[in-house]
Amino acid sequence: MDALTLLLNRRSASRLKTPAPQGEQLDNILAAGMRAPDHGALKPWHFVIMKDDGIKRFSELLEKAAIEGQLGEDVEEKARNAPFRAPLIITVIAKLKQHPKIPEWEQLVAASCTVQAMQMAAVAQGFGGIWRSGSWTEDAVVRAGLGCGENDRIVGFLYLGTPELKAPAKVQAPDMTGFVTYF
Ligand SMILES: Cc1cc2nc3c(=O)[nH]c(=O)nc-3n(C[C@H](O)[C@H](O)[C@H](O)COP(=O)(O)O)c2cc1C
């Protein structure tokens, strides 16, 4: 698939099964993330890879967060099940640094670009994925469990695998009215 076709037609895939990207495929995905645009080459990000037992541990962590937050049995069950929606999850943590020239917002944006780059690298290799977030990104139990420091932000959980639907809904040409002006 050429790059323009990918960018104009990409869709997220929320239903994902095995096989997950592995070996060189996963290395390509991580390398694409590492090539995100990055002012000052600070690399203000960290990738936490979850697969196999890691998915189970993530499930336990989300469940613990739901229990400690007294969020109720429904949320506990949802939390427990959420990580099993894909065979591979890459959690992207922005590691925001004090810098005289590069403000935190730029670092946060750079870390966010890694998610899109990794998702597209997965699609380019025949896989699918979806960028997820939700209130867990701000949860103290989840943050601690994933090793976040005080100035770290979880920018997303990138769920990856093989799309269950072989042909996702076709992408319509976007209506750009009101979104673009020429200056
Ligand atoms: C920062 C961020 C967080 C997101 N969090 C979620 C989420 O928690 N759950 C979800 O279903 N979609 C989430 N999305 C949206 C999906 O990744 C996806 O873009 C959306 O379902 C639209 O599908 P499409 O990418 O095929 O257009 C998030 C997107 C971004 C950029």
Nearest to 25 by CA among 131, 101, 129, 136: 129
User: Is the CB of 11 within 6 Å of ligand 1?
Assistant: yes
| Beta pairing partners, 129 | 160
pLDDT tens readout for residues 69-126: 999 999 999 999 999 999 999 999 999 999 999 999 999 999 999 999 999 999 999 9
Distance 53 CA to ligand 1 centre (A): 25
pLDDT of residue 165 exceeding 90: no
Q: Kindly state the helix (H) or strand (E) to which residue 117 belongs, with its residue range.
A: helix 104-124
pLDDT at 1: 81
pLDDT tens per residue across span 21-51: 999 999 999 999 999 999 999 999 999 999 9
Q: Say how far residue 13 (Cα) sits from the centre of its chain.
A: 12
| Ligand 1 site, residue 133, Cβ cutoff 6 A | yes
CATH class, 12-163 region: alpha beta
> What are the structural domain ranges in the chain?
12-163
At residue 166 the predicted structure's pLDDT band, cuts being 50, 70 and 90, is: confident
